[in-house]
Structure formats: C-alpha cells, structure tokens
Homo-oligomer: A and B are copies of this chain.
Amino acid sequence: MKPQIAKLGYVALESSDIEKSVTFFQDVIGLELTEKVQDTYYFRAWGDFQHHTLSISPGEMGKVTYIALRAKSSEDLYLFKEQLETKGYSIEHVAAGTTPGIGEAFQFVAPSGHRLELYYDVEKGEVDDHRRSVLKNQTYKSWAKGASPRRLDHVNIHTCAPGNSAFDFFVEELGFRINECIETVEGKLLAGWMSVTPLVHDVALVAHDSLETKARFHHISYWLDSSGDLMRAADILKENGLQFIGPGKHSVSQAIYLYVIDPGSGCRVELFTGGYLIFEPDWETVVWRPEERAFGNTYWGDSITGNALIVPTIEA
C-alpha cells in the first residue's frame, strides 16, 4: 500500500523586508498571526485549522525555502521516508517542534529542484479570545481585516527539470493525480495541476526549458468564498497602493483570480475563488495542447500570461 498525502500544509517564506511582508500579509491580505517565535511570523487564514499555513522569516532575499505537505497518518509519514531513502533521496530529519506547531518532519529536494517537507503531527495553535470565532467549527472571526481569505488553497511552482521527471515524482512517489495538464502531442508535460484532494490542484507545476535557478516559486494561493469578495479584495489592494493582475477566470480549474506581489519578499499571492471539485475516482486528466495554453490560462479577464515574473527562488 502506497503512503498518502492529506493536503498542502504550509509555505516557508523568507523576506528581505520582513516589516513590509508582515504588513502585507496581516493587514492587506488579512491573515491572522498565530504567533511570532524569535524572528519568524506564523500566519494562517481565519478558516485554516492547523498552526500556520505560511511562515515568514527574515532573509537576505525573497525566497521560499520549502513547501510542506501533510501526510495522511504517522504511518504514511514513515513509509514516505523509507520509500524516498530507498530511491536514493537524501532525507533531512527535522525534530518535532523545530517549526512551531509542526511535529517531526522530513525534508528533501524533489526532482523539480524544490525543497519539500513531509510531516504529520500538528498543533492547532492558540487563538486569543477576542479573535476566536463564535462558531466552534471556525478558527478566527472572519472579515477582521483586509481581503480576509478563508483558507490556503494551493501553490504554483516552476521547474526546468528535464522531461517529465518532476511531474513523475509527484505522481509516482507522492501520490498526486494530474487533474489537468498542458501537454505536447509527444507527451511532454508543460504544466500540470495536481492534487491529493478533490481540489483541482494542491500543487501546480510548470515546466521551462531554462530558468535562472532550477526551481522557482510562482505563487501561494488563498481562497475566498465568492467573486464578490474578490472584487472587494481588488478595492482593498488598490487603496493600499498595490498593483495586481486580474480579475480574470482561468479555463483550467475554472477559478477566478487576482495576483498581487508581497512588496517585502517579492512573493506572488493569488486570491482565488470559484472552481470545481473532483470527486470522481476515475477522473481522466483534462489535456490542453500548447496552442490552447492562452485559453487555458485565461477564460476571460485580465491575464497573468506574459506577466509571469517568478520572483522568489527555492534553494535546490
């Protein structure tokens, strides 16, 4: 039996201007600060259930140091470790509590060049009385400030790994399903929207022939409940002096989006709503051809295409 991943867990971000980043994520995007430990800020959306879905540490440059995925069980976690070691991956052990709220974890560099972390145990994180929701199934009061997204949705990462090796790793070793893809007729994957959940993507992976560094981070995406909330977010971004791309709707995933850059780290954030869920166990990958890429990217509205500066690197 293959081990399974439950969900995308969190993104570990470094910022060269942490004050700006904290203002951006806390006041403009409207994430909640679970806690600050030493120099690192741990954030989550009001509807996220684990300790954090984004950590921000000071760094020399904007950089995503790793992306963490939560295993389905403790057994799965150790099976992953064993399986990856067998395949020759160099596994770095991270002791429980090294990252606040996160148990024992294992880090490694995927063939895409991105450092990934697997973990299982979590703490929910304390919530101040005045920020706690009156609903016992919701972490914080919603709509406290900024755009106020509900939850982490997905990450989008770019690679220049050869062939389909970066995609194969996610599918074969981590158990992701490619729900939609851009693929040449020869079978070369140019982009894949992959998930372990009914979301169209927990991770989107985009292939390039070359990149400044092998692995790049394109965006972290937080989910809002409606397109009206996204229009409200657009107003909030403008009133805070921020430029952004969108609103627009992707054909792939059917989701409506805004893209805005954290002025501290250069990390792109997507605000995201709509889209569909996949409950079918025999889902056939929706294949878009390279000539359909523009339509796949942009069903309507302001397009991210051609604006795809990929700012923060991930160390390989």
Minimum distance in angstroms from A246 CB to a CB of chain B: 7
Residue of B nearest to A140 (CB): B239
Q: Residue A180 at the B interface, CB < 8 A? A: yes
Minimum distance in angstroms from A281 CB to a CB of chain B: 4
Q: Residue A22 at the B interface, CB < 8 A? A: no
Of A36-44, A109-117, A295-303, A307-315, the one contacting chain B is A295-303
* Residues of chain B with a CB closer than 8 A to A87's CB: none
Determine the distance from Cα of A288 to Cα of B137 in the docked complex, in whole angstroms. Answer: 10
Determine the distance from Cα of A228 to Cα of B143 in the docked complex, in whole angstroms. Answer: 13
Minimum distance in angstroms from A296 CB to a CB of chain B: 9
Q: Residue A231 at the B interface, CB < 8 A? A: yes
Q: A7-B280, A302-B248 are in contact. Are A236 and B70 (CB under 8 A)?
A: no
Query: Is the Cβ of B239 less than 8 Å from the Cβ of A142?
Result: yes
Q: A228-B226, A228-B227, A276-B47 are in contact. Are A238 and B299 (CB under 8 A)?
A: yes
Residue of B nearest to A7 (CB): B279
Q: A256-B231, A286-B137 are in contact. Are A238 and B300 (CB under 8 A)?
A: yes
Q: Residue A188 at the B interface, CB < 8 A? A: no
Determine the distance from Cα of A237 to Cα of B141 in the docked complex, in whole angstroms. Answer: 11
Q: Among residues 135 to 177 in chain A, which have CB atoms less than 8 Å away from a CB atom of chain B?
A: 135-138, 141-143, 145, 150-151
Q: Residue A78 at the B interface, CB < 8 A? A: no
Q: Among residues 205 to 256 in chain A, which have CB atoms less than 8 Å away from a CB atom of chain B?
A: 225-229, 231-232, 234-239, 241, 244, 246-249, 251-254, 256
Minimum distance in angstroms from A297 CB to a CB of chain B: 13
Query: Is the Cβ of A301 less than 8 Å from the Cβ of B256?
Result: no
Minimum distance in angstroms from A45 CB to a CB of chain B: 11
Q: A226-B228, A234-B300 are in contact. Are A239 and B276 (CB under 8 A)?
A: no
Q: Which of A137, A138, A142, A145 has the most CB of B within 10 A?
A: A137
Q: Residue A277 at the B interface, CB < 8 A? A: yes
Q: Among residues 87 to 140 in chain A, which have CB atoms less than 8 Å away from a CB atom of chain B?
A: 120, 122, 133-138
* Residues of chain B with a CB closer than 8 A to A226's CB: 225-228
Q: Among residues 46 to 76 in chain A, which have CB atoms less than 8 Å away from a CB atom of chain B?
A: 47, 49-50, 70-73
* Residues of chain B with a CB closer than 8 A to A246's CB: 301
* Residues of chain B with a CB closer than 8 A to A138's CB: 254, 276
Q: Which of A145, A228, A253 has the most CB of B within 10 A?
A: A228
Q: A143-B232, A197-B279, A228-B229 are in contact. Are A301 and B247 (CB under 8 A)?
A: yes
A13-50 toward B: CB 8 Å interface, digit per residue (1/0)? 00000000000000000000000000000000001011
Determine the distance from Cα of A256 to Cα of B277 in the docked complex, in whole angstroms. Answer: 18
Instruction: Name 20 A/B residue pairs within 8 A (Cβ), A-sorted.
Output: A49-B280, A49-B283, A120-B281, A122-B282, A135-B299, A137-B252, A137-B253, A137-B276, A143-B239, A145-B145, A197-B198, A198-B198, A225-B226, A225-B274, A227-B227, A227-B231, A228-B228, A235-B300, A247-B247, A301-B302
Task: List 8 A-B pairs, minimum CB-CB distance, nearest first.
Answer: A228-B228, A226-B226, A7-B279, A141-B239, A227-B231, A6-B281, A302-B302, A72-B281
